[in-house]
Structure 1
């Protein structure tokens, strides 16, 4: 059961960043932007998906597995130290080496004392031209060893964070399960962009679909959404394609889908907003979707198709 926070006002920040093939340089940029965000009073800072490297899933290359790290490891330790120093809740992203041959796309959440509050391993893994993630990532476990669902919010000192990752954002089931488990905020670290060869009309449709579906999760679950995306053009490592232009447009919206902050499609930026965490309960009283769910009629949702 989620109780009303004593202080419902929460200042949050989402980082929209360009990345390089130099992990140290990318992490230095992340750290600089995190520090700037906390100077503005941010209590929760969210980084984008795979912020320490280029988006390496444009191609299938076994050498890339050398970028993976265990948790704890160098990148997670650095983020933990930063969270503890700045006394913030920090959401980062790790290419996780879980064991030989098992790698994950993993979000890590550190609390204000630098402790690891929890992890979320990306559940839905795409395999599309330029996004060959199934080559690299094992899907997150449907259940943890203690029986919890893979869609379990992470408890922190500022609330329960429903952390999902990129491709997960297209699935209403993931958002709903996080909401039913008591999430206070939905968070989607992301790396998504345009095929440079697509015409402008198609690019516009894709961007609008991405924004709309996540705002829909906010509305359907009466929860704020934080969606940081990377920005900048990253070349195809093989030289056979044009690469990906990541479309930025990171945003924060409230529990009725209202924009609280939004980035552009070109610039590194820090998006900030102040959430009133009491609004979820207020909105659910006038739009009681969860009350009116017909859970007795939804069993077919567990089937792949309905013949």
Structure 2
């Protein structure tokens, strides 16, 4: 069996205070990853600052920026300096009153190759994203790069098999998920374990069902809630649990981080997807003639 090896890196970090501080740390971490041979670097969701969606406040919209804009320029320069493809995650200002949670892909020459606007937007205690983000309108389209065709999705998208499947059907060679997920520190340990296990299982399912490697990069650290003094549900802040990981096309772990900041570097064999899909031909056996009801919200 042939091998086509791609060295990838996931930058798992905590919030360092503001965009300048976070991007400075990212620059250091990408340099570390490149020194270890990485050719593709994935950053966590909304890496420029704190996870501001723990409350609803119009002042947070000041954090948004256009794409292309200052952050894509800086990430592009970083990609070019180290000759790596960088996948970032930004708060996009598209127009007045119109904002998105957007992933960006920078080629190794610094070019902004494309972006993906998060399609599935949550609205739960501590995760009030519908206040800030308009659902994506760009579809599920992989982005071609020098290291392969990347199926980039964002966080809440990770719970939807349809999103992963559509990226796979469009020819994605890898699935990438910048994410920001953690638990309420007030939850009992059993509940925390169930949540994290479910998150990992969802990614392993996407890898298996589509015969593709999966990269998921999470943030770490406790981030307090701006609503703490009001004491509503979810006001104890979020403990982001890390555990960023790289999976192979049978859901196997290639690498996994712990609960602290990390530069997770490993090699992915892109040829294995071909081999796995030959023995598990799920795409061949799909009954596309029988799936029309998937377009319904619910089958009453």
Specify if TM > 0.5: yes
Q: Does 1:61 align with 2:57?
A: yes
Q: Does 1:255 align with 2:249?
A: yes
The superposition leaves residues 22-41 of structure 1 with CA deviations (integer Å, 9 ceiling, x where unpaired) of 21111111111111000000
1:76-87 alignment runs, 5 A limit:
76-87=72-83
Gaps of 5+ in 2: 230-234
Q: Does 1:185 align with 2:174?
A: yes
Distance in 2, matches of 1:214 and 1:172, equals: 9
**Map of 2:269 onto structure 1:** 276
The superposition leaves residues 176-200 of structure 1 with CA deviations (integer Å, 9 ceiling, x where unpaired) of 0000000000000000000111000
**Map of 1:106 onto structure 2:** 102
Instruction: Count matched residues.
Output: 295
**Map of 1:167 onto structure 2:** 156
Gaps of 5+ in 1: 145-149
Mean Cα deviation higher: 29-38 or 223-232: 29-38
Is the 2:50–2:223 Cα contact (8 Å) retained in structure 1?
yes
Distance in 2, matches of 1:261 and 1:295, equals: 34
Q: Does 1:285 align with 2:278?
A: yes
The superposition leaves residues 247-272 of structure 1 with CA deviations (integer Å, 9 ceiling, x where unpaired) of 0010001000100111112x100111
Is the 2:123–2:130 Cα contact (8 Å) retained in structure 1?
yes
Distance in 2, matches of 1:13 and 1:199, equals: 32
Deviation at 1:163, TM superposition (A): 0.2
Deviation at 1:53, TM superposition (A): 0.5
When the two chains are superposed, the root-mean-square deviation of aligned CA atoms in Å is 1.2
Q: Does 1:227 align with 2:216?
A: yes
**Map of 2:194 onto structure 1:** 205
SS of 2:94's partner is strand
Mean Cα deviation higher: 25-34 or 219-228: 25-34
Which of 5, 16, 26 pairs up with 1:20?
16
